[in-house]
């Protein structure tokens, strides 16, 4: 093979690689009809004419849900949500990433309804290689039923950060080198649902859904997906590139301002942390509980 042929092949491969990198990240359209499909009970899903707002309904007949068309490996997902108002005990609004595999990875926001006048509880959970039991719960510092608020997941090779209106409420670091499970190989889709969880969601299932207060409506808008689209090759999503901005060093830990906000949430709004539940784990807490969060 002569030198000219080598040069042509090199630039051809480079062009293919650049196309793959360019296609690896997506900034979403903002149109639910284009980026998501309804997974169950279409009659309980209402989407605005322009596709930029969507609501889910729960009644005695059914709940409802939708899922992203694409699967992703790392990135940042934002969703504005307005939760079920009034007496919402027993209802669960779930907004999460999941690989849907037997040994699944999952990153969960779960909003647990409550009796009228009592605060919503936001539960977060993480599955890694099929194992969960990593629940944390916080009371929100505002009424999440009065207006839309932004709930975000930043997921990179270094950490998973759950944020509420850009305030970090939870950090789960990648301690895979120390034997701690961390979602890093399986692509995940974005799923949203509203369903009947009254067997467990409110006071351990003691407060049931009052169907006379229904139907129950949760609303969603102004989502943003900036993530690596899964194309069958994890290297493209795991590598640093201009599009895979989330892997950059500046996103490898919390900033000093984020740390202050994080500590504030933990001090004043956290109501359950699995890493403090010695009784549940019989004084053998999961390994990550003794490792740094940032």
- Residue 224 makes CB contacts below 8 A (sequence gap 6+) with 27, 28, 30, 76, 77, 78
For the record, the structure tokens of 247 come out as 């892997």
106: annotated active-site residue: yes
pLDDT category of residue 101 using cuts at 50, 70 and 90: confident
Percent of the chain surpassing pLDDT 90: 81
Could you report the per-residue pLDDT of 149-186, keeping only the tens digit for each?
Answer: 999 999 999 999 999 999 999 999 999 999 999 999 99
For the record, the structure tokens of 176 come out as 């895979």
- Residue 121 contacts residue 112 (beta carbons within 8 Å): yes
For the record, the structure tokens of 198 come out as 């009254």
76: annotated active-site residue: no
pLDDT category of residue 41 using cuts at 50, 70 and 90: very high
Domains assigned to the chain: 32-290 (2.60.120.200)
Q: In degrees to the nearest 10, what's the CA dihedral of 258, 263, 264, 268? A: 150
Could you report the per-residue pLDDT of 200-245, keeping only the tens digit for each?
Answer: 889 899 999 999 999 999 999 999 999 999 988 888 899 878 889 9
Active-site residue, from 76, 106, 136, 288: 106
3-state secondary structure 156-168: CCCEEEEEECCEE
Percent of the chain surpassing pLDDT 70: 91
Active-site residue, from 110, 135, 279, 288: 110
């Amino acid at each position: 093979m002569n030198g000219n042929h080598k040069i042509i092949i090199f630039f051809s491969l480079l062009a293919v690689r650049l196309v793959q990198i360019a296609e690896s990240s997506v900034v979403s359209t903002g149109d639910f009809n284009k980026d998501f499909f309804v997974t169950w009970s279409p009659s309980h899903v209402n989407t605005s004419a322009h596709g930029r707002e969507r609501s889910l309904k729960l009644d005695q007949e059914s709940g409802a849900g939708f899922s992203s068309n694409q699967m992703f490996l790392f990135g940042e997902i934002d969703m504005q949500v307005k939760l079920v108002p009034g007496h919402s005990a027993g209802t669960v609004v779930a907004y999460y990433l999941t690989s849907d595999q037997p040994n699944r990875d999952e990153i969960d926001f779960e909003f647990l309804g409550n009796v009228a006048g009592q605060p919503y509880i936001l539960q977060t959970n993480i599955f890694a290689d099929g194992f969960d039991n990593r629940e944390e719960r916080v009371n929100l510092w505002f009424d999440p039923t009065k207006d839309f608020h932004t709930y975000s997941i930043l997921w990179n090779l270094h950490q998973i950060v759950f944020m509420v209106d850009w305030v970090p409420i939870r950090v789960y670091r990648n301690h895979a080198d120390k034997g701690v499970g961390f979602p890093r190989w399986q692509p995940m889709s974005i799923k949203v649902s509203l369903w009947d969880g009254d067997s467990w969601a409110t006071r351990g299932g003691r407060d049931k859904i009052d169907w006379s207060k229904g139907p129950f409506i949760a609303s969603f808008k102004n989502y943003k997906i900036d993530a690596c689209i899964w194309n069958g090759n994890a290297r493209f999503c795991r590598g640093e590139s201009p599009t895979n901005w989330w892997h950059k060093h500046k996103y490898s830990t919390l900033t000093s301002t984020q740390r202050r906000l994080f500590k504030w949430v933990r001090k004043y709004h956290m109501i359950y942390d699995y890493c403090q539940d010695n009784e549940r784990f019989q004084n053998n807490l999961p390994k990550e509980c003794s490792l740094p969060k940032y």
